[in-house]
Structure 1
Amino acid sequence: MILPIVAYGHPVLRKVAEDITPDYPGLDKLIEDMWETMYASNGVGLAAPQINRPIRLFVVDSAQIFVNMDDEEKEENDYPDAPGVKQVFINAHIVEEAGDDWPYNEGCLSIPKIREDVYRAEEVTIEYMDEKFHKHKKTFDGVTGRIILHEYDHTDGKLFIDYLSPLKRKLYKRKLDDISKGAIQVDYKMLFPKK
């Protein structure tokens, strides 16, 4: 089932999410719905707070980025994480961020029509559970690492616009207000806090 994505301004997006246990009600169906919702909105990652669930759960499919890319483009940009991963992250906690911060033009399904360069670490080492609640500790880099850091931020109540300068955030104030009010056109279901 495709779920509505919570728009900027909704309090759930600023809440630090809670860890869950294997007996979380309807977890398998929730994960299935999150994949369906993410693909229906052309996303490459989706966190539970974005569908109004304040829990530490997110899904990532960085392989979607590489699907439409030709070999020449992959070589020119030297993506160390190609061909990407498709993974569920439950109760994720960052162990370490390493390497130089690098810019990448980010957007967010909860903040449609706004994109900006955000600097993030080259690598992230993260501990998490998969959908079977098996524990993992892995290091991710490239675009995959970037998506994981972005989705992880959602479980900590942070948004990519928090990395922008105060001046840039001020310039986006009207657009952000319009998003909260639902005064935008998107091609996926959204839940607007001020509509």
Structure 2
Amino acid sequence: MQLRVTQYGEPVLRQAGKKVEVFDEELRNLVSDMIETMYAEEGVGLAAQQVNKALMVFVMDVSHLPGEELDYQLDGLRQPIDLIMPMALVNPEVEVLPGKKVFGEEGCLSFPNIRGDVPRAEAVKVDFQDINGKPHTLVCSGWVARVVQHELDHLHGRLFIDLMDKRQLRTLDSKIKRLKQNSRKALME
């Protein structure tokens, strides 16, 4: 079932997620609904906060991004991307790997029509559980690492606008304020 995507200005986007303790049908249904919503919204990732749940869960599917930009290993293997996507990451913990920060343009389903350059670590290692509670490790760089970091930020109540250069953010200020006002007004109705 497609879920409503929360918009900037809704308090849940600033809430840190609670650790998932129970791996049951309710979690599997939530993840399934999140994946359906991500596809319907044409996103590459979606965090639980973006569907009004303050939990440590996000989903992603980067399989349609250009192959040369997909650098990853899941549990020490580089499996075909179509076999591992979409992927649900439950209770993820990230470690930034040695390397530089790289800038890249990002958007967010909770910020329609707002995009900006964001610095991210070039490579990360993320330990997580799947929807059955089984532990996994994903080591990635490039766009995969960018998506992981963007979604992980959501799980901690951080947003991509928090990382943007202040000058760039000022150019988007009126759009962001309008979105926040519209979101709050919609919540009051």
Farther-moved stretch of structure 1 (90-99 vs 41-50): 90-99
- Deviation (angstroms), 1:24: 5.9
Which amino acid letter does the alignment assign opposite residue 44 of structure 1?
Answer: V
- 2:152 matched to 1:115? no
Secondary structure of 1:65's counterpart equals coil
TM-score, normalised with respect to structure 2: 0.86
- Deviation (angstroms), 1:4: 0.6
Which amino acid letter does the alignment assign opposite residue 50 of structure 1?
Answer: Q
TM-score, normalised with respect to structure 1: 0.83
Partner of 1:81: 71
Asked if the contact 2:24–2:132 (Cα under 8 Å) also holds between the matched residues in 1, the reply is no
What 5-or-longer segments of structure 1 have no aligned partner? 67-73, 183-191
Partner of 2:166: 166
Change (3 A) 1:142 1:65: same
- Deviation (angstroms), 1:117: 1.4
Secondary structure of 1:81's counterpart equals strand
Query: What is the rounded CA distance, in whole Å, between the counterparts of 1:97 and 1:9 in structure 2?
Result: 32
RMSD over aligned Cα atoms: 1.8
Which amino acid letter does the alignment assign opposite residue 173 of structure 1?
Answer: D
- String of CA shifts for 1:43-78, please: whole Å, max 9, x gaps: 000000001100000001011223xxxxxxx5xxx4
- 2:54 matched to 1:63? no
Asked if the contact 1:7–1:193 (Cα under 8 Å) also holds between the matched residues in 2, the reply is no
Calculate percent identity across the aligned residue pairs. 35
Partner of 2:184: 193
Farther-moved stretch of structure 1 (28-37 vs 80-89): 80-89
Asked if the contact 2:125–2:139 (Cα under 8 Å) also holds between the matched residues in 1, the reply is yes
Query: What is the rounded CA distance, in whole Å, between the counterparts of 1:179 and 1:24 in structure 2?
Result: 35
Secondary structure of 1:193's counterpart equals helix
Query: What is the rounded CA distance, in whole Å, between the counterparts of 1:170 and 1:117 in structure 2?
Result: 13
Deviation >6 Å, runs of 4+: none
Which amino acid letter does the alignment assign opposite residue 156 of structure 1?
Answer: H
